[in-house]
Amino acid sequence: MSKVAGDPERAINGLLSVARLLDEPRLARLYTFVLREGEVTVDEIVGELGLPRTTAYSDAGTLVELGVLDRDETQKTHTYSAVPITLTAALDGDEYTVTPTLVEAFGRSPRDQDLDLLIERHGLGKLAAALTYAVPYADGEMSERIAARKLDLQPAFAIAVLQALRDVVLDMKTVDPYFEDPGDARGRPPGTED
């Protein structure tokens, strides 16, 4: 029997939304762009991401339907803002919380040869693992060599991946509301105090 806590419909819909973000890099990129900017118009999406206007409208509409973007229709020019997402997956004692930082890394993969190759050869799970080592590496708490060794990849390739993820970490550190403590995402929404 399934274990129920809270609203199961909302939880499953959230799972599907995060899964979609981690399946379509263009949607992931759009989502994290809006998260970084705070509030954007379609013109800003077109200008910054270089998407055709129809694609920008379509993708923003998809993200609104998925519940990861909000659309403000009170003004003539609609604006979009991001809903911070998290998803905690647990399997046989192993647990990982997906936050916008992983979504950003995945969204960059088509434009970064090393990240793209990592996902193609080793899957999204290896990207998540690499990101867990990229955080202490970017913070100067772990050497490049040690982080690369822990990834269990060819050393030069592991270093290239860590360098690509270093940029992701530095860009998302101040934007991802769950960056410092992804476990906190399970306890309360961003912006709420104890």
State the Rg of the chain over Cα: 17
Q: What local confidence, expressed as pLDDT, does residue 90 receive?
A: 83
Task: Give the confidence band of 192 by pLDDT, cuts at 50, 70, 90.
Answer: very low
Q: What is the pTM of this model?
A: 0.87
**Torsion, CA 99, CA 105, CA 110, CA 114, rounded to 10:** -150
Q: Which of 147, 143, 112 is nearest to 129 (CA)?
A: 147
Joined together, the tokens standing for residue 116 give: 């793209």
Q: Which residue has the tokens 């991946």?
A: 161
Q: What is the CATH number of domain 8-82?
A: 1.10.10.10
pLDDT digits (tens, 9 = 90+) for 98-121: 999 999 999 999 999 999 999 999
Kindly list the domain boundaries of the chain, sorted by start residue. 8-82, 93-172
